C-alpha cells in the first residue's frame, strides 16, 4: 500500500478547517481599500491615497522570536499575534508612517485548528486596534522542522507616509533631547536570555509566582508588546519630531544610534527612570552584567522621541494631557 501525505505528517484537511475558523475574524479587519476576500493567491489593496500629495509606501517584516516558546509552555496562543502586529507597526511608525495592511506567515509542526484560531485572533486584535487590514497569510505544516506543539510566526506590514513628512533623523543635532516612552514588559526582545535565567538558572516554571510583580513568570513574560501608534500620531502631528526609535534588540543605545548623522553620539542618563522589577529580577537571578542588560532589554523604555530642547517642555505637557508619561532620558552630543 502507498503512503499518503497525512501519513507523511501533513494534514491538508486540518489546514482547511483552520481557514474556515478564521475567515470571519480576518474579514473584520478589512478596510474599504481591500478588494478581494481571503482565499486568493494574493491580497488586493487599492492604492488610491487621496489625502496624500506624494505617498511613499513603508514596509517592515519581523517575527516574535523565542517568546513563542513561553506561549507554548503556557498553552496560551492568543497574545503573540498581537505582539507581532505591534512590533511591525512600531517599526514603520519610526518613519512617520500610518499602517495600511498586514500579512502573516505561520509554520507549525502540526496544524491544530484551535491553536491557529488563537494565533490569528491575536493578529486580528492588533490589526483592528490600528485600523490595519489583514489581507493575506500562509499556514504551513512542517513536521520535520518543529518539535510537537511548536511553531513560528512572522509578519509583514505596509504603511504610507507623505514624502515631505518622512522622519529620517537627518536633522538631528547636538543638544537635542531624548524623551522615552514607557514599555510594559520585555516586549519581544531578550527572551533567549530571560528564559535561560528563569527556567535553567533559577529553575522556575511558568507557574512560579513572582511577588514583586503579582504575576506568574509566564504571565509576566507574555505581557503584550505595546503599540505606540496613538501617542506618536499625536506627537508627530503637533511637534517637529526629529527622530523616533523603537527599542528592540540592541537596547536603547543601539537602536537610537541608528538614526544619528555622522559625528554625533548619545548620552543616556541611566538614573532618569526606575527600572521595572522584571528586569531587576532577571539581572539578580542570572547575575547578568549591567552592560549586557542594557544591550539586550528595553529596561522599561519602549520608544524614544528625539526633539529640539526648546520643545521638550511642551511635548512633556502634551504627553501628560494624553495620560502618557514622558521621561527625559538623555541628549545628543558631539562624538
String of b and e for 235-262 (b: at least 16 CB within 10 Å)? Answer: bbeebebbbbbbbbebbbbbbbeebbee
Give kind and range of the element (H or E) at residue 129: helix 113-129
Which own/partner pairs from 258-261 qualify as long-range (CB within 8 Å, at least 24 positions apart)?
258/169, 259/168, 259/169, 259/172, 259/306, 260/169, 260/172, 260/332, 261/169, 261/170, 261/172, 261/173
pLDDT at 38 over 90: no
Q: What is the pLDDT of residues 79-90, one digit of tens each?
A: 999 999 999 999
Q: What is the pLDDT of residues 293-313, one digit of tens each?
A: 999 999 999 999 999 999 999
Residue 1 has a pLDDT of 64
Residue 24 has a pLDDT of 84
Return the C-alpha cell found at 52: 496624500
pTM for the full predicted model = 0.94
H helices present in 28-79, as ranges: 67-74
Residue 332 has a pLDDT of 98
At 317, the pLDDT band (50, 70, 90 cuts) reads very high
Domains of the chain (ranges, CATH numbers): 5-165 (3.30.1330.10), 177-334 (3.90.650.10)
The residues that bridge with 240 in the sheet, in sequence order, are: none
Q: What is the pLDDT of residues 127-165, one digit of tens each?
A: 999 999 999 999 998 988 888 899 999 999 999 999 999
Q: Which of these ranges, 16-20, 100-104, 150-154, has the smallest mean pLDDT?
A: 16-20
CA nearest to 79, candidates 227, 194, 201:
227
pLDDT at 276 over 90: yes
Instruction: Please tell me the total number of residues recorded for the chain in this structure.
Output: 335
Amino acid at each position: 500500500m502507498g503512503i499518503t501525505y497525512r501519513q507523511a505528517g501533513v494534514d491538508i484537511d486540518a489546514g482547511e478547517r483552520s481557514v474556515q475558523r478564521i475567515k470571519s475574524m480576518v474579514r473584520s479587519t478589512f478596510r474599504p481599500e481591500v478588494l478581494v476576500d481571503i482565499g486568493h493567491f494574493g491580497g488586493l489593496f487599492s492604492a488610491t491615497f487621496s489625502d496624500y500629495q506624494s505617498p511613499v509606501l513603508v514596509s517592515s517584516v519581523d517575527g516574535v522570536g523565542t517568546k513563542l516558546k513561553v506561549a507554548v509552555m503556557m498553552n496560551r496562543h492568543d497574545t503573540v499575534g498581537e505582539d507581532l502586529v505591534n512590533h511591525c507597526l512600531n517599526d514603520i511608525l519610526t518613519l512617520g508612517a500610518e499602517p495600511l495592511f498586514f500579512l502573516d506567515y505561520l509554520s507549525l509542526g502540526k496544524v491544530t485548528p484551535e491553536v491557529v484560531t488563537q494565533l490569528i485572533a491575536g493578529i486580528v486584535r492588533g490589526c483592528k486596534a490600528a485600523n490595519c487590514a489583514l489581507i493575506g497569510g500562509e499556514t504551513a505544516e512542517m513536521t520535520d522542522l518543529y518539535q510537537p506543539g511548536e511553531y513560528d510566526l512572522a509578519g509583514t506590514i505596509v504603511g504610507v507616509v507623505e514624502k515631505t513628512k518622512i522622519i529620517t533623523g537627518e536633522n538631528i543635532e547636538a543638544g537635542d533631547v531624548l524623551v522615552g516612552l514607557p514599555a510594559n514588559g520585555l516586549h519581544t526582545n531578550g527572551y533567549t536570555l530571560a528564559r535561560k535565567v528563569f527556567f535553567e538558572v533559577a529553575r522556575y516554571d511558568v507557574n512560579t509566582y513572582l511577588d514583586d510583580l503579582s504575576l506568574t513568570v509566564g504571565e509576566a513574560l507574555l505581557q503584550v508588546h505595546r503599540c505606540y501608534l496613538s501617542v506618536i500620531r499625536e506627537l508627530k502631528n503637533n511637534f517637529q519630531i526629529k527622530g523616533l526609535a523603537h527599542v528592540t534588540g540592541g537596547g536603547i543605545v543601539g537602536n537610537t544610534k541608528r538614526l544619528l548623522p555622522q559625528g554625533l553620539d548619545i548620552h543616556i542618563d541611566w538614573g532618569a527612570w526606575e527600572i521595572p522589577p522584571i528586569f531587576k529580577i532577571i539581572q539578580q537571578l542570572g547575575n547578568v552584567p549591567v552592560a549586557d542588560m542594557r544591550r539586550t532589554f528595553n529596561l522599561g523604555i519602549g520608544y524614544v522621541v528625539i526633539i529640539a530642547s526648546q520643545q521638550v517642555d511642551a511635548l512633556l505637557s502634551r504627553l501628560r494631557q494624553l495620560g502618557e508619561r514622558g521621561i527625559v532620558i538623555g541628549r545628543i552630543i558631539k562624538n
